[in-house]
A and B are shown apart, each in its own frame.
Chain A
Amino acid sequence: MRVIIDHDRGTRPLAITATLAERILVRIGDLPQIDGIFAVQRLRMLGDERPEQIERHDPRPAEVGLRLAKWRVGDLWGYVVTEPLPVGEVRYGRAEIRKMPDTDAMAELTDAPSVTVSAGATKAYDLTLPTVQCSALKWWVIGKSKEIRRRYLRLDAEGRSQAVHSIGSKRGLGFGRVLRWAVDEAPEVDADWILARRWMPEGYREGRTSLRGIRPPYWHPARQVTCVEPAWD
């Protein structure tokens, strides 16, 4: 299978590290993709206040045009980025999130004789969600360090981001908090090395196949094709 790599002048292999202060709340094997994170920031830069809310029904979700190297296989393309690699010991756990109807407020503000908290719209629940805990997540990309630092992550001198301070789900509840980001040159890797470490369209190499997104928004049905699994060392 013929793969074409497109990249702008000045792009280099880079290693991006997010040192984590909190557990990430995601399905196992579904850790956040770095180009997905950049795409959300890019949409915000373009003035979209709610970029996470791309409609599932939209048959052609917007292309955000990230300034990263791209791979092309036939009609398919994506960015030259690896899957996320957890650093250090990885522990899988769970978090419990409680949502309760405020029955005291209901007693005061409604004239209803009762409220059902075991079923229906006002059901009280303890949601148990899977978490991944590790000291950092690392991705490799081919891109421009300055562009990533200044535009996509908006890093200060200490590596704190003004744009991406949490990753994964339930960020509003403090999960996936990133302590600091680092964007370092990685001359030891190249595009082939990176593509070997991401899901690629079926036929790219031998291996187990699965339906996967190939570029942001990864979750969108229009982005999903049969892919072959990555091969980590």
Chain B
Amino acid sequence: MIDRQTGRVDLRVTLLQPFHHGAGSSGTTAMLRTKPVIDPETGERYDVPYLSANSVRHRIRASAAWHAIRTAGIDDGSLSRGAVHLLMSGGSLSATGSSVNLRQARRLAELVPGLALMGFSAGNRMPAGKLMVSDLDLVCAENRWRAPEDVRDDGRSGTPFGVWVDDCMSTRKSPLGDDDVRRLLPAAEREALDDDASKRLAKSRRGERSEGDPESLQAIYEHQILVTGAGFWGDIHYRGLDALERAALVAALSWWCIGEHADGRPLFHLGARESHGWGRAAIEFRGVTFARPAERPSDLRPVAPGARPPELVAYEEHLREHAAEIRAMLQEAA
């Protein structure tokens, strides 16, 4: 009988850098994504910033895919667009008809446990995922009524969410202000730029407004952010995972993980602008496996750097052993 596990991993997040998860803009300011929260006692509605489960799930899905691709030794340039879409975004239905290809869906889930974990669409079938990820909700006063017990005890849970929101201004300066860069341009273009600049200077001296040259102006833009030190809570529920699927989840979390905080918590990037260092966060994983008569700790968390637990080794061996079949099956299903 297959050993399947069902359980939950609670996530407790602390931001170590500013964080932005966007939804639209106002002028030149990219706004934080918010969701309505209604206090059941007062009926007051608040639009509270959060990190969507969709974003977290995509990180897990893409990490699981990259880990599988690199471990199986699938070469760059060797997959079809449909296969990449299937691995990275869950794919799309590509066939119709009343005869559902069960064999293909079953075999694909067996070969690529990361797909079975997250769910996918292939052919005319959409097997559901086994991972239910929650939004990461801000630890703040407006969310306190819906937070778990330990989060309510967190000192930040009495603070209104507005305290954690700030604006961060950035500029993007045109390189054409740099003489060394201008020398790269053809002489005629360089002269035209100089001419424009002279005209703008003359206008400015006469006290007239200049329309400016968009190519040489400094662009200012802003992001609404959550400040360093803000906290999130959330969880990942999983249902009926077999050993390979559990290992695929551990491998995905480990791939996503960027190191270890001084206190031992794994570090991750969350939200946008990770290349600018934003969204760096320390996450504590507290897992339980639902089992009767008592719950037992879950081992679903990123592995420490250099650690090679047997389940992960077995999973990676599975990927390497079936690499050719995985590639062929992905191409066929997509």
**A residues apposed to B, CB below 8 Å:** 19, 21-23, 44, 49-50, 52-53, 55, 57, 88-89, 91, 93, 96-102, 105-106, 108-112, 115, 121-123, 133, 135-136, 154, 162, 165-166, 171-174, 177, 179
Contact = CB atoms under 8 A, between A and B. Distances in A.
B2 to A, nearest CB: 10
Interface string B73-89: 01011111111110111
Given A109-B83, A174-B132, 7 more contacts: A21-B146, A96-B23, A102-B88, A105-B88, A109-B69, A110-B80, A133-B36
B192 to A, nearest CB: 34
Nearest to B118: A172
A1 B224 CA distance: 62
A53 B98 contact: no
B80 to A, nearest CB: 6
B92 A165 contact: no
A89 B38 contact: yes
Interface of B: 4, 6, 8, 23, 35-36, 38, 40, 43, 45, 52-54, 57, 62, 65-66, 69, 74, 76-85, 87-92, 94, 98, 100, 119, 127-129, 131-135, 146, 234, 237, 239-240, 290, 334
B36 A93 contact: yes
- Highest count of chain B CB atoms <10 Å: which of A44, A88, A173, A179: A173
A106 B80 CA distance: 8
Nearest to A21: B146
A122 B91 CA distance: 8
Contacts of B45: 91
User: 9 tightest A-B contacts by CB?
Assistant: A174-B53, A102-B88, A135-B40, A174-B134, A111-B77, A21-B146, A173-B53, A162-B290, A174-B135
A176 to B, nearest CB: 10
A174 B146 CA distance: 14
Contact of B129 (A89, A165, A172): A172
26 contacts: A19-B40, A21-B146, A22-B134, A44-B240, A49-B239, A53-B127, A55-B100, A89-B43, A96-B23, A97-B54, A98-B54, A102-B62, A102-B85, A105-B88, A109-B79, A109-B83, A121-B82, A121-B85, A133-B36, A135-B40, A136-B40, A172-B57, A172-B132, A173-B54, A173-B133, A174-B132
A110 B53 CA distance: 28
Contacts of A136: 40
B39 to A, nearest CB: 9
A121 B132 contact: no
Given A89-B43, A106-B84, A172-B133, A53 B128 contact: yes
